[in-house]
């Protein structure tokens, strides 16, 4: 089976290598000529130590070359760039085939989860073919073959099974879950809470504060997800709570590190430059706040993170404002 892999950042390159090692014919696509040239020269990926291009894996700057005659397309770009990439795929009149989205986010203004964005662009003929992969996973660890468990989903149960079969290895376990909306919301919203937890760490507030943020953050995630018809069991599973636990607890998470840098006095622009990679939570907090206001669902942590990034709210003042909120009976 030929796989056209779109996006060769740390997560994309890691997954592309995983599929290549499984014996699939993988052609990876990137818009970064320096990255493509460097990898073709045998150098390690800039964000993945000791990870180089497999001899039997191709990479290209030509999108059509990557998807031409592909039996499956896998996406690993960014939330902000996903629509444009699939518009390019549509331009080449690609006939329906399995399409797996692996980016985590919610599109700004439309409020769509990313698999829904792909469906809207590619058309209803792709409904039975669009899948989604999400869950607690760091590219650096997956690339090393460390045991990892995630979730495979789709708009149809057959697609969920396809995603699981495609990616499962002895060290990368993929569980099926047909609640694609819940899987997508869990994966997207936890990035916002991870920024908040990074801020908490940067201010030196300790483990107790972080535990409170994670728990109340999970409450926010569940409220919004259930309002969108998701199952709460999904939010309490790998793609929700599992991913939340991972990204809120480690500097390996770029969202967590972004929050930490903000608390250290860096501006959002400075923090983005230092991390060098996309911080999806900073994008998703905008779309999440738009959605929460539309649905009239209070999300104080999300709103606070938004104000810190986009309204110059001081992180210490932000914590004080959260602590001054009226106390209500805990309800999960």
For residues 85 and 79, give the distance between their C-alpha atoms in angstroms, rounded to a whole number: 10
Q: Could you identify the residue written with the tokens 């649905």? A: 295
Is residue 102 within 8 A of residue 167, CB to CB? The reply is no
pLDDT band at 332 (very low <50, low <70, confident <90, very high): low
The alpha carbon dihedral of 121, 123, 124, 130 has a sign of negative
For CA atoms 34, 273, 269, 185, give the dihedral sign: positive
Quote the pLDDT of residue 95: 86
190 counts as catalytic: yes
Output the pLDDT for position 71.
96
Report the alpha-carbon distance of residue 46 to residue 196 in Å, rounded: 27
Given pLDDT bands bounded at 50, 70 and 90, which one contains residue 318?
confident
- Looking at 58, 104, 190, 223, which residue is catalytic? 190
Q: What is the pTM of this model?
A: 0.95
pLDDT value at residue 138:
97
| Average pLDDT estimate for 151-163 | 97
72-90 per-position pLDDT tens digit:
999 999 999 999 999 999 9
Reduced to 3 states, what is the DSSP secondary structure of residue 230?
Answer: coil
**Which pLDDT band holds residue 316 (cuts at 50, 70, 90)?**
confident
For each of the domains in the chain, give its residue range(s) and CATH number, in order of start: 2-178 (3.40.50.720), 188-323 (1.10.1040.10)
pLDDT digits (tens, 9 = 90+) for 86-125: 999 999 988 899 999 999 999 999 999 999 999 999 999 9
Per-residue pLDDT tens for 210-251? 999 999 999 999 999 999 999 999 999 999 999 999 999 999
Q: Strands, E, within 19-97: which ranges?
A: 25-29, 58-60, 72-75
How does pLDDT run across 162-182, given as a tens digit for each residue?
999 999 999 999 999 999 999
């Amino acid at each position: 089976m030929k796989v056209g892999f779109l996006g060769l950042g740390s997560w994309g390159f890691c997954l592309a290598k995983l599929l290549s090692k499984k014996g699939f014919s993988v052609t990876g696509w990137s818009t970064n000529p320096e990255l493509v040239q460097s990898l073709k020269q045998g150098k390690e990926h800039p964000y993945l130590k000791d990870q180089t291009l497999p001899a039997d894996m191709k990479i290209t700057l030509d999108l059509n070359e990557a998807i031409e005659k592909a039996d499956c397309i896998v996406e690993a770009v960014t939330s902000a760039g996903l629509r444009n990439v699939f518009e390019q795929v549509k331009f080449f009149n690609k006939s329906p085939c399995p399409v797996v989205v692996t980016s985590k986010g919610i599109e700004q203004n439309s409020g769509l989860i990313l698999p829904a964005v792909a469906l809207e662009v590619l058309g209803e003929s792709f409904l039975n073919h669009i899948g989604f992969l999400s869950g607690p996973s760091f590219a650096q660890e997956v690339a090393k073959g460390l045991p990892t468990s995630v979730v495979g989903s789709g708009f149809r149960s057959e697609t969920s099974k396809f995603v699981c079969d495609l990616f499962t290895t002895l060290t990368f376990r993929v569980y099926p879950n047909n609640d694609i909306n819940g899987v997508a919301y869990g994966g997207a919203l936890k990035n916002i809470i991870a920024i908040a937890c990074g801020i908490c760490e940067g201010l030196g507030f300790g483990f107790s504060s972080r535990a409170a943020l994670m728990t109340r953050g999970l409450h926010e995630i569940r409220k919004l997800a259930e309002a969108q018809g998701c199952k709460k069991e999904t939010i309490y599973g790998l793609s929700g709570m599992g991913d939340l636990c991972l990204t809120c607890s480690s500097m390996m998470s770029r969202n967590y590190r972004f929050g930490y840098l903000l608390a250290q006095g860096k501006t959002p622009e400075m923090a983005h430059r230092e991390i060098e990679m996309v911080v999806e939570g900073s994008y998703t907090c905008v779309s999440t706040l738009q959605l929460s206001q539309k649905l009239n669902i209070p999300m104080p942590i999300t709103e606070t993170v938004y104000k810190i990034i986009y309204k110059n709210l001081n992180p210490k003042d932000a914590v004080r404002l959260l602590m001054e909120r009226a106390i209500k009976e805990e309800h999960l």
